[in-house]
Amino acid sequence: MDNYAIYDGLYAILGIPRDCSLLLQFIAIMINIVLVIAVVMLHVAYATYFERKVIGHMQVRLGPMRVGWHGLLQPIADGLKLFFKEDIVPATDFKAVFKLAPIFVVFAALSSLAVIPFFSTFYIANINIGILYILAISAVSTYGIIMAGWASNSKYAFLGSLRSAAQLISYEVAMGLSLVGIMIMAGSLNLKEIVSAQQQQWYGMYLFPQFLGFFVFTVAAFAETNRVPFDLPEAETELVAGYFAEYSGMRFSLFFLGEYIAMIVMSSMSVLCFWGGWTLPPVITNAIPQLNMVPGIVWFVLKVYGHIFVFYWVRATLPRYRYDYLMRLGWKVLIPLALANIVITSIVKYLA
């Protein structure tokens, strides 16, 4: 472990020597961060388009068709519209908190991107506690939602935020426990090392030995990102729009942005921990060596989009859960399952 490990990514690509001046290091890090944020923002914009198209076709509609060819410019038109809408702040004692809440949500979602390795040599920071960092950030992102609900001075928003806080705390436990199996198998909390540990196995993905953990993680990821069937914090039929009912214009779209970035981060986590990240299973690459020529980012993006597609598929298929079922599922099914997974994994690891 040398001190420069965190700048590894762009250094390797641009060929900057590691012992260059502080200013150059700073510039390299900044370029790296801006690049990642810009690319992810673009993906978020088109993830909304992808979602509307997927759900549209699942419901035998066409989805957006008007703006551009097959509605391709729709996300840009939506963004422009939201940007120019009136920004309304309700009468409340907590104006500063009200304005801070959406920024907090986006800040939390974006800062998770810092530790995600997109392929073997490209990441912002390669830290030893990658998994814990993501869990910590997703734990802290609850505050944005609670602050929004509290500062909105509205009962619907407040109820939505209380629901959300309880839901996120409950499912964080299950999510953390479901990843313990991965940590035991890989012997590391570093996301990059977890991917290379998966390469050591012939099947190349922890998905197979850790299917229980994967199931718990996926369900918890739906709850953590407030997606259907666990979108109770924003249940339209009960709570208008939940915690962001009082927000409009740009501030509303920041919540939207935060949700989609969180979805991308959760999908990336799932891909890195269970699907072998940017690598393919050694069985396949040994059978077809030509696949080694394809850059890793292709597999990573394909897997992430496959995962995001599951989010949309479930949204088009399942109705919303009732709140007490949600809590019961979290505490009485997922947490015991995750604990059982830990016990089984440790025994197998001990015997092997």
Partner 1 sequence: MITVPQLFFAYFAVAMTVLSLLVITAKNPVNSVLWMLALFFHIAGLYLFLNAEFLAAVQLILYAGAILVLFLFVIMMLNVKDEIIGKRFIKGWPVGIALVMSILAVIYFPISRLIQGPAGQYTIEAIRAETNSKVLGRVLYTDYLFPFEVASLILLIAIVGAMVLAKRRA
Which among 134, 178, 165 has a CA at the least distance from the CA of 333?
A: 178
Which position has the token pair 């399952």? Answer: 337
Instruction: By CB under 8 A, name the one of 7, 158, 214, 222 that touches partner 1.
Output: 158
Nearest to partner 1 of 72, 100 (CB atom): 100
Nearest to partner 1 of 103, 127 (CB atom): 127
Instruction: By CB under 8 A, name the one of 146, 232, 273, 334 that touches partner 1.
Output: 146
Residue 94 contacts partner 1 per CB under 8 A: yes
In single-letter form, the type of residue at position 61 comes to R
Q: Which stretch binds partner 1 (CB under 8 A): 93-101, 265-273, 298-306, 311-319?
A: 93-101
Residue 55 contacts partner 1 per CB under 8 A: no
Instruction: By CB under 8 A, name the one of 8, 51, 172, 231 that touches partner 1.
Output: 172
Least distance CB 166 / partner 1 (angstroms):
8
Instruction: By CB under 8 A, name the one of 139, 212, 240, 327 that touches partner 1.
Output: 139
Residue 333 contacts partner 1 per CB under 8 A: no
Nearest to partner 1 of 77, 139 (CB atom): 139
Instruction: By CB under 8 A, name the one of 112, 120, 142, 268 that touches partner 1.
Output: 142
Query: Long-range contacts of range 302-310, CB-CB < 8 Å, 24 or more positions apart?
Result: 303/271, 303/275, 304/264, 304/267, 304/268, 304/271, 305/50, 307/267, 307/270, 307/271, 307/275, 308/47, 308/50, 308/263, 308/264, 308/267, 309/50, 309/54, 310/218
Instruction: By CB under 8 A, name the one of 35, 77, 129, 184 that touches partner 1.
Output: 129
- Bridge partner list, 119: 122
Which among 64, 35, 36, 34 has a CA at the least distance from the CA of 49?
A: 64
161, 108 contact by CB (below 8 A)? no
Distances in whole angstroms, Cα of residue 307 to Cα of each of 73, 113, 223, 313 = 24, 17, 15, 10
**Contact residues for partner 1, defined by CB under 8 A:** 1, 93-94, 97, 127-129, 132-133, 135-137, 139-140, 142-143, 146-147, 150, 158, 162, 165-166, 169, 172, 176, 188-190
